[in-house]
Structure 1
């Protein structure tokens, strides 16, 4: 790692290296409940809405008791709408309530409420996992990438998952755009998840790019 790359990485992780799971209060581990909560968060983040609102809506859903697939499935459609509304997720609340209910039912019926069964069905293959994730309503390629970026912290089978959004942020900061080279800058799957989240944030904001570069040059 070059001196400049190291400085950029230090600033980046220090200022922006919090995972979206962390922001939503999800203590991610290889257990059914937090994995499901990540799926819910990925669904919410997939819409054209700010990440802050998606995170706030996830918190409201979990606070209301819908942090498990059975809890989400058994909640009424209106209760889910109301929780989303409390998180200000209002443009997409009705459609998202339906998708979350149907997705929870799919997970319970097909994988017994446990996303580890989905992973095992895919043989731990990253593309296979993404394909199965996209069977959930509201999860397309973007949502699958969001899930995989975060879950690589606890599913070493999918690491490193560094998609185009992440690599775009890396390129703007002068970091390697090659997944293998970029992954070598950090050690663990947890740090890869943090790096991915930070680079996604950077990719959205020219101001953030300049801030990180300026701080790293001091």
Structure 2
């Protein structure tokens, strides 16, 4: 099976911060042990259909709403934990990086530094970082 790319989801990371955030959410969803089609569906339901495409919008949606949307997309195995971690991800991005992945990149300085900072987000492990950096590195390094 081929790896998912940002363009497969209609994301163009070269367009800047907003698109990078969408890719970060997608990478987070794809980084879990769940079928690719289900993860893609969850991304489309959360980001495309419900416009939860910024850290603030995603955070304001709340846990219950996120669980409902993930369930709607059949992302049910990890719906509760994924919803909680997405909210924490947005909180951390807002509180430590002014809601900006570009700020995270700036403070990370090097690719390794950025990868280390990404893994400090709860629920973001090596696989999520690998997926995200495949596209983000084209913009940042």
- Report the TM-score, using the length of structure 1 for normalisation: 0.60
CA distance in 2, matches of 1:104, 1:52: 24
CA distance in 2, matches of 1:52, 1:150: 19
1:91 counterpart = 2:86: no
Instruction: Quote how far apart the aligned CAs of 1:40 are.
Output: 0.8
Q: Secondary structure at the match of 1:108?
A: helix
Residue of structure 1 in register with 2:42 after alignment: 57
Aligned pairs for 1:199-210 (under 5 A) are none
Residue of structure 2 in register with 1:44 after alignment: 29
Question: Any conservation in 2 of the 1:42–1:139 contact (CA below 8 Å)?
Answer: no
Aligned pairs for 1:116-127 (under 5 A) are 116-123=102-109, 125-127=110-112
Instruction: Quote how far apart the aligned CAs of 1:152 are.
Output: 2.5
1:129 counterpart = 2:114: yes
Instruction: Quote how far apart the aligned CAs of 1:27 are.
Output: 2.4
Question: Any conservation in 2 of the 1:32–1:113 contact (CA below 8 Å)?
Answer: no
Q: Secondary structure at the match of 2:138?
A: coil
1:25 counterpart = 2:17: no
CA distance in 1, matches of 2:33, 2:133: 19
C-alpha RMSD over aligned residues:
1.5
Instruction: Quote how far apart the aligned CAs of 1:53 are.
Output: 1.1
Instruction: Quote how far apart the aligned CAs of 1:67 are.
Output: 0.9
Instruction: Quote how far apart the aligned CAs of 1:122 are.
Output: 1.1
Q: Deviation per CA, 1:91-133: give whole Å up to 9, x if none.
A: 001100000001001111111111010011011x111110000
Aligned length: 139
Which runs of 4 or more aligned residues in structure 1 lie more than 6 Å from their structure 2 counterparts after TM superposition?
none
Instruction: Quote how far apart the aligned CAs of 1:65 are.
Output: 2.1
Pairing partner for 1:108 from 85, 88, 94: 94
- Report the TM-score, using the length of structure 2 for normalisation: 0.91
Instruction: Quote how far apart the aligned CAs of 1:36 are.
Output: 1.0
Give unmatched runs, 5+ long, in structure 1.
1-15, 158-218
CA distance in 2, matches of 1:140, 1:150: 16
Question: Any conservation in 2 of the 1:27–1:34 contact (CA below 8 Å)?
Answer: yes
Question: Any conservation in 2 of the 1:30–1:154 contact (CA below 8 Å)?
Answer: no
Question: Any conservation in 2 of the 1:26–1:37 contact (CA below 8 Å)?
Answer: yes
